[in-house]
Amino acid sequence: MSVFNLLLEYWYLAVLYEVLCASLSTFLARSKGRDQGIWFLWGLVLGVVGLALILAMKKLPEEAAAKNNLLLDSENYLRSGWRALLFIVTVVVLYYLSAVLSELTRAVPSQSLFFLFYIDVALSTFLMLRFIDKRRFASVGIPYHGNVLKETLLGILIGALMIGAVGGFEFLIGAVKLNLRPGLSFTLLARNFGLSFLFFAYFAAGEELLFRGYPYQALIEGMGAIGGTIFMGVIFGLMHVSNPNAGVISTANTILAGVWLSVAYLKTRTLYFPFGMHFAWNFVQSFILSLPVSGLLTNRTIFVPTDYGPDWLTGGRYGPEAGVGTTVILLVVLVYFLLDKRIKPAYDYAKYKDRLLSKNEVSRAA
């Protein structure tokens, strides 16, 4: 495939790349007080240069074996590493455009812009699957099958029991004590329940789509299940390093939690099971047990906690996720998941991964 034909086939990638370069250049100019118009043009020029370098990486001529092609695989689809990278680029571009649009229209308060992030993650997932992978959106791990509700509820039950065991042990030995929140009426309790439910459900769904969704599944294709799981687990842990009061134990536990949730996906090949566990863990930890979640403590809780330590057990101000109790429960459940052969996909996973052929491809296949 010549460079010209490659550009014709993947023109939307080139346009997206140019938009990213120009947008980032404009953003930098704005932050430095420079002329944004000139730097927008410079971004386009630098983008063209970068695109030329990327195309030069493709090994020509056309008869070169597919295995020597740095961009495309043997089926002439973009390689998994490039797809994962392109997904991240797409998310960044969409989030930047969303933030700019929201600032111009004042549609979303500046303190709430982060809520747009996971909407952009979902949109990026759709764009990648539809135009790059040519697969249905459900193939990312949200197929419709008879056990959707069962997998979700089972995940919620397991997640609630896990964090309940961690918190219950702390309460039992007197490391943490709870007092009913003053002035908590039934109306306020119902309101806090609803807000907490929606908040943790939204962010659990978004994080699962990001960390167990498209980029993780693309990495699995290129690195294998073990390599992709460890890599994404480390990324999941590092993403929480900037949280208030984070430390070595909290980071290690978060990496372990990333592996735990990834194994849940690998066993079922859906996001329902890990979503249920992720949501229940955070919701029960915050609303019911009234403890900090990854260093963040809200007032939408039933109780007011008092932590008597030690921090290595309770996690201190970071919460149970920085304590060894979480380490133990995650390891126990992770080993159980790995050994239990009854946990398996409830649908035809391979069929959902089939490519959606275009009319031209269908006619050629016929």
Report pLDDT digits (tens) over 101-152. 777 777 777 667 788 999 999 999 999 999 899 999 999 999 999 999 999 9
Tokens of 118: 């996971």
Is the pLDDT confidence value at 166 over 80? yes
More confident residue, 172 or 363: 172
Do 235 and 327 share a domain, yes or no? yes
Q: Helix or strand or coil: residue 61? A: coil
- Interval 38-79: pLDDT, tens: 777 777 777 776 666 556 544 434 434 444 567 777 777 888
What's the pLDDT score for residue 63?
Answer: 39
Per the structure, the count of domains in the chain is 2
Residue 242 within any structural domain of the chain: yes
Residue 50 within any structural domain of the chain: yes
CA 191 to the chain's CA centroid: 28
List the beta bridge partners of residue 72.
Answer: 78
Residue 192 within any structural domain of the chain: yes
Q: Which secondary structure element, helix H or strand E, spans residue 118, and what is its range? A: helix 115-127
What's the pLDDT score for residue 7?
Answer: 61
Residue 135 within any structural domain of the chain: no
Last residue of some domain: 72, 100, 129?
Answer: 72
Residue 323 within any structural domain of the chain: yes
CA 203 to the chain's CA centroid: 9
Query: Mean pLDDT, to the nearest integer, of 196-214?
Result: 97
Do 234 and 339 share a domain, yes or no? yes
Q: Which residue has the tokens 């397991």?
A: 158
Residue 180 within any structural domain of the chain: yes
Q: Helix or strand or coil: residue 191? A: helix
Is the pLDDT confidence value at 327 over 70? yes
Residue 122 within any structural domain of the chain: no
Residue 105 within any structural domain of the chain: no
Domain that holds residue 20: 1-72
Strand bridging mode 176-180 / 303-307: antiparallel
What's the pLDDT score for residue 62?
Answer: 42
Q: Helix or strand or coil: residue 228? A: helix
Confidence of residue 20 (pLDDT cuts 50, 70, 90): confident
Residues 204 and 282: beta-carbon distance below 8 Å: yes
Q: Model pTM?
A: 0.81
Last residue of some domain: 22, 40, 72?
Answer: 72
Is the pLDDT confidence value at 84 over 70? yes
Measured over the CA atoms of residue 286, residue 259, residue 354 and residue 345, the dihedral's sign is negative
What's the pLDDT score for residue 204?
Answer: 97
